[in-house]
Structure formats: structure tokens, C-alpha cells
């Protein structure tokens, strides 16, 4: 009887565990799970909506009517084309990394922003007013992490002229709210977030743990990297407005930058290629003995700041050149392990295009 009793209990417990998938769900312990130096990349990429061709039409790219989207408050009638903020009413902020991010979030326009913040593990975020600064001691917002690894965040611009001087959240200009999830790994954290403030939808911000906090230099960027990105350039663009075309498959006659058809708002382009960083500030060509089906190699120069931010000048084999601003971050990656899966980290560059009139960005990862 005892044997049958314990068997029944064991079966009951096993069955209960199989029917309770939530017991194995990932959980967070609180704000302490988000601590350290985080690079951010914020974007709103809705530019392709303007001038888009309506489904079913045969007109050329960029020549179709505006695609209507709902901008009326819930419960009211009406559909109007996507709205760009009228001149003179755009919300302005400081020309700082956090200022550019917050200003992009609270306005409706296309934007890209890149920078770095420090999370203190107690729900406070700090930033600096210059790129490359190690002094992240000005409060720029707050955050809260829940047990289900959801996260809420409030950001503002303490460097704007209207923000006051106390540095508290109540004094931050252009405050905006974000919601997202904390992605945990042994290599570090990633915060994937969207804007939830009024009139600010369409913006995405990714926070990724930086490679280091205060010890980066050109030697940190070394080795072979694959790079991918996308964007568009306008008629007012400065350097980097080449007209490279898509190569024929297998011919290797094109470059890393390939441009599409020019429309009302500008010319879209893709970036696909690879580069070798020599650890001394140079992007060099592959060795002649290395074969390639596409010949999409990039050369150029780069500079890594002490805070793991940096800039680079990229040029493909056709002569198309563009400048980028980047952050060195750690991304999760699998590494060889005997008999088990082991989590490792791999260096990556999160970047945005920094030439005037050029929008977009992408990522580069070690091969």
C-alpha cells in the first residue's frame, strides 16, 4: 500500500510540473538586474510611408498618393495622411546624445540617435552632455523593472535651457515614456523598448551593455566583421551620396552600398559587406588570397573613444563613402563547449549614419 501511495504522489507531482509551464519562466529580481553602462540606439523609420504607392496601383515609386493613417483621437472619425509637425512648432532640445534621443522621441519626425547612459541598479539613469565623456553624473531619467522582466522608463533632457538646474526628473525637459522588456544573458543585458508617449509612436530604442565602461581605444576594434544596414539619403545630403547599383549575382561588380529608386523623399540604400579592423584605426582590404562572390569589402578609418563610442569612415570598392557614429557593445553568442551549451559574448557595433541628409543605421558583428 505504501509503495502504491508514493507512486501515486510521484505521478501527481510530475504531472503537475508538466502542466505548469510558468514555473520555468524567466523572472527578474528588480532594478538591480539593469545596472552598468548601456549604449542606446533610437530610431523612427516612418519616412517610407510618405509618398508610398497605394496597393494595386501601377504608378512609379514615390509617385503614388499618401497612405492614410489614423491620427484622430480614439472615438472620433476621420483618416488623414501622416502628419509632419508644421514649421515653427517642432519641439527642440539640447544638442547632446540624450537631448537628440528625447527630442526625436517627442516629435513625430524621422530620427536616429546614439549615445550612452549609466543605470545605477536603483532605478536611476545618468548621462553626459558630450560624446565620449566618462562623467555620467547628470540624472536623465528613471526606470523600473518588474518580476516578469518588463521595464518602464522615463527620460528627459537636463541640458535643455528650459530644464532647470536641479537635475531631478521633475526638472527634465521634453519628458517621454518608454516601455519594453529586459533580455537577460550571461553576456549582459539588452533592453528592447518602444515609445508610449502621446504622438510619439513609431519609435524604437534598444539599450545594449557596452563592451567596457571606461577603457576602450582603437585596439578594441580588431578583426573581421560583417556589416549590414539600411537608410536613405536626400537631395540635401552631404558626403556619402553615391549611386552604386545592385551587382549581378556572382559577378562582384557592385559595392557594399547599393541604392534604390529615387522617390519623393529621397533615395533608399542598403549596406551589406565586411571589413577588417587592424586595431590601429584603419579598415583594410581582405588579403588577395581570400575569394569572395560579391566583393563587398569596405575600407576606411575609425576612432574609438575611451567610453566605447566612436566614428568611422566607410568606403566601398565603387567609391561610395559614408560616415557613421557607433558604440561597441557585447551581444550574446554561442561558443564551443564539450557536452553542453555555453553562453559567450561577441563584440558588435551598433551604428547610425552621421552624414547630413542621410538617415538610417545598422549593426556590425565579429565573424
Question: What CATH number does the domain containing 53 carry?
Answer: 2.40.128.10
Confidence at residue 293, expressed as pLDDT on a 0 to 100 scale: 52
Residues 103 and 223 in one domain: no
Higher per-residue confidence, 205 vs 49: 205
- Over residues 203-208, mean pLDDT: 91
Residues 63 and 200 in one domain: yes
Higher per-residue confidence, 366 vs 200: 366
What average pLDDT does the structure give for the chain? 74
Answer whether 139's CB lies under 8 Å from 124's CB. yes
125, part of any domain: yes
Residues 64 and 150 in one domain: yes
Confidence of residue 294 (pLDDT cuts 50, 70, 90): low
Confidence of residue 111 (pLDDT cuts 50, 70, 90): confident
Domain that holds residue 312: 218-366
Confidence at residue 333, expressed as pLDDT on a 0 to 100 scale: 61
Which of 150, 170, 153, 154 minimizes the C-alpha distance to 162? 170
Range of lowest pLDDT (45-59, 102-116, 221-235, 291-305)? 45-59
10, part of any domain: no
Q: What tens digit of pLDDT does each residue of 113-136 get?
A: 999 999 999 999 999 888 877 788
Spatial distance between the Cα atoms of 262 and 245, rounded to a whole number of angstroms: 12
Confidence at residue 1, expressed as pLDDT on a 0 to 100 scale: 52
Residue 207 has pLDDT above 90, yes or no: yes
Residues 223 and 205 in one domain: no
| Residue ending a domain, choose from 187, 209, 231 | 209
154 phi-psi bin (left φ>0, alpha ψ -120 to 50, beta other): beta
Question: Which sign does the torsion angle of CA 59, 64, 65, 71 carry?
Answer: positive
Residues 105 and 145 in one domain: yes
Confidence at residue 19, expressed as pLDDT on a 0 to 100 scale: 47
3, part of any domain: no
Q: Which residues contact 152 (CB under 8 A, 6 or more apart)?
A: 143, 144, 177, 178, 179
Q: How far is CA 222 from CA 84, 190, 362, in A?
A: 42, 23, 19
Spatial distance between the Cα atoms of 346 and 199, rounded to a whole number of angstroms: 37
Residues 205 and 237 in one domain: no
pLDDT-above-70 percentage for the chain = 65
Residues 136 and 205 in one domain: yes
13, part of any domain: no
Q: Which residues contact 90 (CB under 8 A, 6 or more apart)?
A: 107, 109
- Over residues 16-38, mean pLDDT: 70
| Residue ending a domain, choose from 157, 175, 209 | 209
- With b for 16 or more beta-carbon neighbours within 10 A and e for fewer, the 145-155 pattern comes to beeebebebbb
Residues 151 and 57 in one domain: yes
Question: Which sign does the torsion angle of CA 142, 148, 149, 151 carry?
Answer: negative
6, part of any domain: no
Confidence of residue 287 (pLDDT cuts 50, 70, 90): low
Residue 28 has pLDDT above 60, yes or no: yes
Residues 160 and 190 in one domain: yes
Confidence at residue 167, expressed as pLDDT on a 0 to 100 scale: 43
Confidence at residue 46, expressed as pLDDT on a 0 to 100 scale: 61
DSSP string computed for 179-230: EEEEEEETTEEEEEEEE-STT-TTEEEEEEEBS-SS---GGGSEEEEEEEEE
- According to DSSP, the residues that pair with 326 across neighbouring strands are 310, 351
Confidence at residue 40, expressed as pLDDT on a 0 to 100 scale: 92
Q: What are the backbone angles phi and psi of residue 244, rounded to the nearest 5°? A: -60, 145
Confidence at residue 286, expressed as pLDDT on a 0 to 100 scale: 65
Confidence of residue 193 (pLDDT cuts 50, 70, 90): very high
- Over residues 96-122, mean pLDDT: 89
Which of 344, 304, 331 minimizes the C-alpha distance to 206? 331
| Residue ending a domain, choose from 175, 209, 243 | 209
334, part of any domain: yes
Residues 222 and 123 in one domain: no
Confidence at residue 203, expressed as pLDDT on a 0 to 100 scale: 87
Number of domains in the chain: 2
Residues 122 and 55 in one domain: yes
Residue 301 has pLDDT above 90, yes or no: yes
CA 286 to chain centre: 28
8, part of any domain: no
Higher per-residue confidence, 271 vs 261: 271
21, part of any domain: no
Residues 199 and 223 in one domain: no
Amino acid at each position: 500500500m505504501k509503495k502504491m501511495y508514493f507512486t501515486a504522489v510521484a505521478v501527481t507531482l510530475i504531472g503537475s510540473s508538466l502542466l505548469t509551464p510558468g514555473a520555468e519562466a524567466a523572472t527578474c529580481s528588480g532594478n538591480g538586474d539593469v545596472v552598468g553602462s548601456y549604449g542606446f540606439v533610437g530610431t523612427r523609420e516612418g519616412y517610407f510611408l510618405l509618398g508610398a504607392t497605394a496597393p494595386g496601383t501601377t504608378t512609379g515609386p514615390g509617385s503614388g498618393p499618401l497612405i492614410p493613417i489614423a491620427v484622430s483621437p480614439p472615438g472620433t472619425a476621420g483618416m488623414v495622411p501622416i502628419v509632419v509637425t508644421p514649421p515653427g512648432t517642432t519641439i527642440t532640445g539640447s544638442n547632446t546624445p540624450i537631448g537628440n534621443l528625447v527630442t526625436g522621441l517627442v516629435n513625430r519626425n524621422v530620427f536616429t540617435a546614439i549615445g550612452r547612459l549609466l543605470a545605477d541598479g536603483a532605478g536611476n539613469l545618468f548621462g553626459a552632455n558630450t560624446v565620449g565623456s566618462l562623467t555620467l553624473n547628470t540624472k536623465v531619467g528613471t526606470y523600473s523593472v518588474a518580476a516578469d522582466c518588463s521595464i518602464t522608463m522615463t527620460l528627459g533632457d537636463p541640458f535643455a535651457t528650459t530644464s532647470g538646474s536641479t537635475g531631478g526628473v521633475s526638472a527634465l525637459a521634453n519628458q517621454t515614456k518608454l516601455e519594453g522588456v529586459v533580455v537577460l544573458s550571461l553576456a549582459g543585458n539588452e533592453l528592447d523598448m518602444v515609445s508610449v508617449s502621446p504622438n510619439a509612436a513609431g519609435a524604437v530604442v534598444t539599450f545594449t551593455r557596452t563592451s567596457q565602461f571606461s577603457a576602450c581605444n582603437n585596439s578594441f576594434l580588431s578583426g573581421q566583421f560583417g556589416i549590414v544596414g539600411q537608410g536613405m539619403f536626400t537631395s540635401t545630403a552631404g558626403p556619402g551620396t553615391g549611386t552604386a547599383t545592385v551587382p549581378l549575382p556572382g559577378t562582384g561588380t557592385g559595392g557594399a552600398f547599393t541604392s534604390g529608386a529615387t522617390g519623393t523623399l529621397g533615395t533608399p540604400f542598403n549596406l551589406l559587406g565586411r571589413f577588417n579592423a587592424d586595431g590601429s584605426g584603419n579598415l583594410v582590404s581582405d588579403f588577395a588570397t581570400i575569394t569572395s562572390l560579391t566583393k563587398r569589402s569596405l575600407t576606411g578609418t575609425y576612432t574609438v573613444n575611451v567610453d566605447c563610442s566612436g566614428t568611422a569612415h566607410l568606403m566601398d570598392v565603387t567609391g561610395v563613402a559614408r560616415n557613421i557614429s557607433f558604440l561597441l557593445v557585447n551581444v550574446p553568442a554561442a561558443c564551443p563547449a564539450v557536452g553542453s551549451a555555453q553562453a559567450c559574448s561577441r563584440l558588435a557595433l551598433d551604428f547610425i549614419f552621421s552624414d547630413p541628409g542621410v538617415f538610417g543605421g545598422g549593426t556590425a558583428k565579429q565573424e
